[in-house]
Every structure is written in C-alpha cells, then in structure tokens.
Amino acid sequence: MKPFAFCTGMYASGDWESAPQVPANIIDSLARYTTLPLAPAGVNVPLDSDALFEHPFVFLTGHLPVFFTANERRNLARFVERGGFLFVDDHNHDIDGVFHRTMTDELARLFGPLRLVPNDHALYRAFFQFRDGPPATSHEMNGWGDNLVHQHLTAVMRDGRIDVLYSNKDYSSEWSMHPDTKRMMQVDPTRFGVNVVVYALTR
C-alpha cells in the first residue's frame, strides 16, 4: 500500500500557500495517533493537473478571492466524482470575507449548495470523539474575523457521506505551528485534523 500524502491544492487565483505549516503538523499528528503509512512531507499539486488524481485527499485554504479556471473546475469535479475528498478551510475566518463568498460560490457551482453537517455526524467520531461538533479555534474564541464561534461545518454530501467539507473556523491558523509546539499544549488542536483525514480515507 502506498503511504498517505497530505496534498495541498494549488489554484491560480488567491493565496493557496497561506498555511505552509499545516501539512507537516497534520502529518505529525497522524503519526502520533494512527498507524497509517505516511509520506513524511506534504505535496502541493496544481488543481488543473492530472497529478491531482494521484491523491484521495486535497486541502484548500487561502485569504484572497478564489476564482477557479475552467481546467481547475473540470479537474475538481472529476476528482470528487471519482471519490476524492476535498477539505476547504477559510483562512480569514470571516463569513463576509471574500474567500468565503467566492469559494462557496465556486463550490456551489461545481457541486451544488453546501449544507450544514450535523454535529452527530460520523466525521466527529471517525477517530477522536467530538460530542459538540467541530472544535472551536482560538481565533474564534478571540473574536477574530467575523467574531463568531461557528457551531457547524458545511459540506456537500451524498447519501450522508461527505464529499466536500467546508470550514469557516480558520483551522489553517489554528494548525499553523511547528509540530513540536503541540507538546506544550494541554489539548492538541490538530486532533480534528486526524478525524478529517481518517474520515476521508475510510468513509
């Protein structure tokens, strides 16, 4: 079996590279808590390249407006149609921010409207237990961005199974730290990242 590689999607508009520490941090957590065969470094793959189809999981983030090109749209649609899992996080943590508005427009255009993920969804029990749904981030608690603690994630689902997961919670900032920093924290904030990856690979 080939090891799992954390894949960050590169898109032409915006700043896909805004959270460069997230991949290493999630890989480190996957290693700490699971026996998944892992690639030691994340990979960055252009959304309009066929290399996208080598990965079952793709992470997208950014602050700036997102407008996919025709090739990026076509590839993303095929990626999800073939069973790929897309995890999108708004690095702005702002429901009126341009990333949120433009990215949700693009996702709705490709896959239909995003719907609330119930907080008892299997996603929250895929590895760790999150009884109250998605864990809050320190940026939410500090009132950054839209000054809201988002109670739900949204998603494009087929028969209850998530194909595209969208987060307003700014996990990109929450998980932007050196992996060793986690040793000084009472609760590891990347545990939910483990859930997302395990859910994506086992749904």
Partner 1 sequence: MNARMAAASIRARLIMTVLARALAWGAAALLGLVLLAAALDALRPLPEPSRAAALWVAVLAAIGVAAAVLWRGRHSLDLLRVALFVEECSPADFVFVTAVSTGGDYGGDVRRGVRPALLRALVVPVAVALVLGGIAVMLPDGVLARVLSPSALDVLRGPAAMDPAASRLAPIVVRVIGPAYAGGSVREEANPSSVRALAGSRIEIIGGGAAHGAVDSIHATVHDRVTVAEADGERWTIRLPLPAAAAAVRLTDRRHERLLALEPVPDLAPVVTLQSPARDTTYATPRGSLTLAASAEDDIGLASLAFEILHTSGFGERFETGRRELGLVQGRGRAAQIRGSIQLDTMRLGPGDVLHIRAIAADRNALTGPGRAASDTRTIRIHDPRQRDTVSLQLGIEIPIDTSVLSQRELIIRAETLLARQRRLRPDTFRARAIELGVRQRQLREHVEEVIEEIETESEDVRIGSTVVSRFLAQAVSAMIDAENELGVASVAGARPHMYRALRLLQQARDATARYYLRGTLPKVVVDLDRARLRGRDSARAEARQPRDAAADHRRALLARLDRAAAIAGVNRAAAADSLTVIRIEALAQVPDAADALARAIAALRVGDPALEPLRAARRRLERRSESSAGILPWLAAP
Question: Which residues are at the interface with partner 1 (CB under 8 A)?
Answer: 2-5, 10, 12-14, 17, 20-21, 23-24, 27-29, 31-35, 38-44, 50, 53-56, 63-65, 67, 69-70, 82, 91-92, 97-98, 122, 125-129, 144, 159, 161, 173, 179, 187-188, 191, 194, 198, 202-203
Contact by Cβ (8 Å): 114, 80: no
Provide, rounded to whole angstroms, the least separation between the CB of residue 166 and partner 1: 19
Nearer to partner 1, 29 or 154 (CB): 29
Compute CA distances 24 → 19, 160, 165, 169, whole Å. Answer: 10, 30, 20, 19
**Least Å distance between CB 192 and partner 1?**
11
For residue 134, the minimal CB distance to partner 1 (Å) is: 17
| Closer CB to partner 1, 6 or 166, in the complex | 6
Helix, coil or strand: residue 32? helix
Count of CA atoms in the C-beta half-sphere (13 A) of 106: 23
Q: Which residues contact 147 (CB under 8 A, 6 or more apart)?
A: none
Q: Which of 27, 196 has the CB closer to partner 1?
A: 27
Q: What are the b/e assignments for 89-127, b being 16+ CB within 10 Å?
A: bbbbbbeebbbbebbbebbeebbeebeebeeebebbebb
Q: Could you tell me the smallest distance in angstroms from the CB atom of residue 118 to partner 1? A: 15
Check: CB of residue 28 under 8 Å from CB of residue 182: yes
Expressed in angstroms, the distance from the first to the final Cα of the chain is 18
* Least distance from partner 1 to the Cβ atom of residue 54, Å: 4
Task: Pick between residue 63 and residue 150 the one whose CB is nearest to partner 1.
Answer: 63
Q: Which C-beta is closer to partner 1: that of 54 or that of 132?
A: 54
